[in-house]
């Protein structure tokens, strides 16, 4: 239970859009259970506070911060607040993401810009302001949450999401190489079809899968997975734990696929 003992982990997107466990929420709790002090950031302050309450209720250490990480000034304030609270940043987990359904013909320009701002610009800004901190302190681990939609079509048309996550993969690889000599590791996790509150609350996904029927959508998504069922937030959290810990000290620039085998089968 001490794989992150003495480390400070900043989890961006540590709240959850609805009841249950989102990737960021589960990751924040997992990090705390393994000994990290967790700085929980979310645009929804109440959601961040809820995650902090779960951590402190188990005897862990955590603090909440409210920020829109698509805005540079708020990211700068976020990093400054974490340093003021804990004095360092050993782990950065970029867990923010939204999806808008639509092909290049269908998606509106404003929607395209919003998806890229939330999914990609947020990670760029967080890394921009955290990497200098990590270099100064001797290193750190950055984990960007991408998606298998970045490397294949998954049967649903949401081109802005696909493209933003593909760009995140390349940004991860490039940054990993550029800062490897400074002992800053940068890796991506590519979740497959996950059963999380974000998916449940996406009317566009439910409509595309099953004409708005969420339970039917779950069944359809389960059927796409070779293992016969979707993953959950804890699968992503456990992958993030490995990349955050010193067990992965020689791992950088990878795309860790967590998908129950979807990307290994033919078809969508």
Cα(2)–Cα(143) distance, rounded to whole angstroms? 19
Contacts of 150 (CB under 8 A, 6+ apart): 162, 165, 166, 168, 169, 190
Distance CA 208, CA 225 (A): 18
Residue 257 to residue 250: CA distance in whole angstroms:
18
- Cβ burial of 59 (10 Å; 0-12, 13-18, 19+) is exposed
Point out which residues pair with 61 in neighbouring strands.
37
d(CA 10, CA 16): 16
The question of whether 250 is a catalytic residue gets the answer: no
Q: Which two tokens stand for residue 173?
A: 């690889």
Select which of 86, 124, 158, 161 is catalytic: 161
What pairs with residue 102 in β-bridges?
Answer: 158
- Token readout for 202 is 């996406």
Q: Are 38 and 244 in contact (CB under 8 A)?
A: no
**Which residues are catalytically annotated?**
161
């Amino acid at each position: 239970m001490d794989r992150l003992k003495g480390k400070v982990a900043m989890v961006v997107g540590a709240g959850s859009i609805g009841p249950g466990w989102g990737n960021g929420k589960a990751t924040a709790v997992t990090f705390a259970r393994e000994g990290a002090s967790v700085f929980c950031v979310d645009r929804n302050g109440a959601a961040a506070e809820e995650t902090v309450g779960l951590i402190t209720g188990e005897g862990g250490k955590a603090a909440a911060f409210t920020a829109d990480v698509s805005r540079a000034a708020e990211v700068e304030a976020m990093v400054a607040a974490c340093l003021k609270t804990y004095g360092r940043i050993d782990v950065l987990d970029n867990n923010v993401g939204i999806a808008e359904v639509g092909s290049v013909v269908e998606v509106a320009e404003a929607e395209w810009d919003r998806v890229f701002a939330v999914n990609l610009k947020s990670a760029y800004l967080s890394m921009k302001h955290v990497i200098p901190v990590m270099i100064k302190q001797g290193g750190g681990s950055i984990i960007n949450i991408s998606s298998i939609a970045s490397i294949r079509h998954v049967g649903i048309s949401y081109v802005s999401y696909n493209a933003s996550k593909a760009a995140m993969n390349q940004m991860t690889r490039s940054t990993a190489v550029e800062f490897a000599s400074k002992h800053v590791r940068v890796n991506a996790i590519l979740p497959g079809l996950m059963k999380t509150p974000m998916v449940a609350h996406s009317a566009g996904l439910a409509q595309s899968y099953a004409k708005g029927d969420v339970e039917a959508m779950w069944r359809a998504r389960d059927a796409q997975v070779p293992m016969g069922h979707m993953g959950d937030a804890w699968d992503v959290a456990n992958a993030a734990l490995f990349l955050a810990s010193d067990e992965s000290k020689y791992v950088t620039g990878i795309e860790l696929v967590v998908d129950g085998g979807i990307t290994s089968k033919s078809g969508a």
